[in-house]
């Protein structure tokens, strides 16, 4: 079944579609005959037109989706495999996050592919001593908190960048509380250690005051001295991350249909809507039917973090996905569905629900004037 549209409801009620459209317009909804509408709106219309209307409950995959997403890896009853840790770099503005992630990427690209990495990417994977680490480049701690709030947290570990010449600043404190709320291990990168006259003890003291107790003081947080600018300490940082990951034993299942999170969506002139996504578990393949928030589609092509075409993407792999019907929003989760009709239905139902939620927020009828202001 597909969602109810203005047309199908009009036919079911034996009324002209324009009567329905007029009523919806009064409620602040500008629709055309092919638009979907939710049950609540349908019942409202029926009431206003004095038509008896009963709505058969629509088959709803949402509960099934939630059930799958919340299922623990062990519940699949298949072997768990190691997966690369997913690391988010956080820190106060100008403390060197961008310089650090650029430095890590340019000196550790998987397969030793050299240089020329200027374009922005949402996530990438680097190799170090035969092991992989996935870095997620969130636009900042606000986005990190937002994703966590939406249940789309994908971070296993946080690298907290603290500039040695500046110390713990307000955003550093916010990042610490986000990382603690997420319950993920923190590794501190004490950056800009190339600068003269820095006071390491002061930084360690400030960190301790905010609940980050350095291991050199008997605590459980590693503080790695780096200079993102000069490239010193980077190997040390990667090794510390891999060691921390080893202790955590990040494992998951890879031989199931994939699910994951869209980190960023955008429109590509040639390829249409694209999603920068991260596979959480399972393996995503060309031809898979996915829903991703309110968008859906058949995976037509996939690209890795270097822009190369790939056929499949396993756990913790950052991947650019082509084939969705519209640009998905950052933080929306994707899931492989049995068939394209199922994926379409989920996306369309979510879209319709989203619209009615907006409508409810707006409340009451709107005037024409109000309407055209938007």
Give the binding range for ligand GDP (CB under 6 A) out of 96-104, 283-291, 300-308, 309-317: 96-104
User: Using H for helix, E for strand and C for coil, what is the string for 88-102?
Assistant: EEEECCCCCHHHHHH
Whether residue 95 is annotated as binding a ligand: the answer is yes
CB of 108 to ligand GDP, least distance (A): 17
According to DSSP, the β-strands at 284-285 and 312-313 are antiparallel
Q: What is the DSSP letter of 271?
A: T
Stretch that binds ligand GDP, among 38-46, 130-138, 189-197, 253-261 (CB under 6 A): 189-197
φ/ψ of 323, rounded to 5, equals 130, -5
Q: Is 141 an interacting residue with respect to ligand GDP (CB under 6 A)?
A: no
Q: Based on CB atoms, which residue is closest to ligand GDP, 192 or 281?
A: 192
166 near ligand GDP (CB under 6 A): no
SS3 369: helix
Tell me the β-bridge partners of 160: 90, 188
262 backbone dihedrals φ, ψ, rounded to 5°:
-85, 120
Determine if residue 128 is labeled as part of a ligand binding site: no
Between the alpha carbon of residue 198 and those of residues 167, 226, 348, the distances in Å are: 10, 13, 56
Which residue is closest to Mg ion by CB?
98
Q: Does 91 bind ligand GDP (CB under 6 A)?
A: yes
Instruction: Tell the smallest beta-carbon distance from residue 276 to Mg ion (Å).
Output: 17
Q: Which one of residues 12, 35, 82, 98 is an interface residue with Mg ion (CB under 5 A)? A: 98
Q: 47 or 93, CB closer to ligand GDP?
A: 93
Residue 54: in which H helix or E strand, if any?
none
How many chain residues touch ligand GDP (CB under 6 A)? 15
The Cα 374–Cα 363 span in angstroms is 15
Asked if residue 171 binds Mg ion (CB under 5 A), the reply is no
Instruction: State yes or no: 140 annotated in a binding site.
Output: yes
Residue 332: CB minimum distance to Mg ion, A: 24
Tell me which of ligand GDP, Mg ion, none is bound by residue 306, counting a contact when its beta carbon lies within the kind-specific cut-off of 5 to 8 angstroms. none
Answer whether 321's CB lies under 8 Å from 311's CB: no
Least spacing, CB of residue 243 vs ligand GDP, in Å: 22
Residue from 191, 244, 295, 317 binding ligand GDP (CB under 6 A): 191
Of 47, 93, 243, 358, the one binding ligand GDP (CB under 6 A) is 93
Q: Scanning residues 265 to 304, which ones bind Mg ion (CB under 5 A)? A: none
Task: Confirm or deny that 272 is annotated as ligand binding.
Answer: no
Q: What interhelical angle do 170-182 and 141-149 show, nearest 10?
A: 30
Looking at the Cβ atoms of 192 and 320, the one nearer to ligand GDP is: 192
Question: Alpha helices, DSSP H only, in 194-276?
Answer: 200-209, 234-248
Chain centroid, CA 146 distance in Å: 10
Largest CA distance in the chain: 82
Smaller CB separation from ligand GDP, 171 or 205: 171
How are beta strands 272-281 and 259-268 bridged, if at all?
Answer: antiparallel
Residue 96 φ/ψ, nearest 5 degrees: 110, 20
Select 74 or 142, whichever has its Cβ closest to Mg ion: 142
x/- string (CB under 6 A) for ligand GDP, residues 229-248? Answer: x-------------------
Angle subtended at Cα 354 by Cα 23 and Cα 178, rounded to the nearest 5 degrees: 150
CA torsion through residues 235, 239, 245, 250, sign: positive
**Residues near Mg ion, by CB under 5 A:** 97-98
Which residues fall in the annotated binding site for GTP? Answer: 91-98, 137-141, 191-194
State the residues that interact with ligand GDP by CB under 6 A.
91, 93-99, 191-192, 194-195, 227-229
Positions at the binding site: 91-98, 137-141, 191-194
């Amino acid at each position: 079944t597909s969602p109810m549209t203005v047309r199908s409801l009009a036919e079911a009620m034996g009324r002209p579609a324009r009567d329905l459209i007029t009523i919806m317009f009064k409620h602040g909804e500008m629709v055309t005959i092919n638009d979907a509408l939710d049950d609540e709106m349908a019942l409202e219309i029926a009431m206003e037109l004095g038509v008896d209307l009963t709505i058969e409950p629509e088959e709803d995959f949402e509960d099934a989706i939630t059930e799958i997403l919340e299922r623990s890896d062990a519940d699949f009853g298949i072997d768990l495999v190691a997966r690369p840790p997913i690391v988010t770099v956080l820190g106060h503005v100008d403390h060197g996050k961008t310089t650090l992630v650029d430095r890590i990427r340019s000196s550790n690209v998987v397969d030793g592919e050299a240089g020329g990495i200027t374009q922005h990417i949402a996530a990438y994977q680097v190799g170090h001593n035969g092991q992989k680490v996935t870095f997620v480049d969130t636009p900042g701690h606000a986005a990190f908190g937002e994703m966590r709030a939406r249940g789309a947290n994908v971070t296993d570990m946080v690298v907290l960048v603290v500039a040695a010449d500046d110390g713990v600043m307000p955003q550093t404190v916010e990042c610490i509380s986000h990382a603690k709320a997420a319950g993920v291990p923190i590794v501190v990168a004490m950056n800009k250690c190339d600068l003269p006259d820095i006071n390491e003890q002061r930084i360690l003291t400030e960190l301790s005051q905010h609940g980050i107790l350095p291991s050199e003081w008997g605590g459980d947080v590693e503080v790695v001295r780096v200079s993102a600018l000069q490239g010193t300490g980077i190997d040390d940082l990667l090794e510390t991350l891999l060691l921390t990951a080893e202790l955590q034993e990040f494992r998951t299942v890879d031989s199931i249909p994939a699910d994951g999170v869209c980190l960023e969506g955008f429109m590509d002139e040639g390829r249409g809507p694209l999603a920068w996504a991260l596979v959480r578990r399972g393996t995503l393949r060309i031809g898979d039917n996915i829903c991703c928030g309110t968008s859906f589609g058949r995976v037509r092509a996939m690209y890795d973090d270097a822009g190369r075409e790939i056929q499949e993407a396993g756990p913790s792999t950052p991947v650019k996905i082509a084939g969705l019907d519209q640009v998905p929003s950052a933080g929306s989760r994707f899931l492989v569905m049995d068939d394209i009709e199922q994926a379409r239905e989920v996306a369309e139902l979510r879209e319709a629900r989203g619209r009615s939620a907006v409508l409810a927020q707006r409340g009451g009828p709107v005037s024409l004037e109000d309407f055209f202001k938007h």
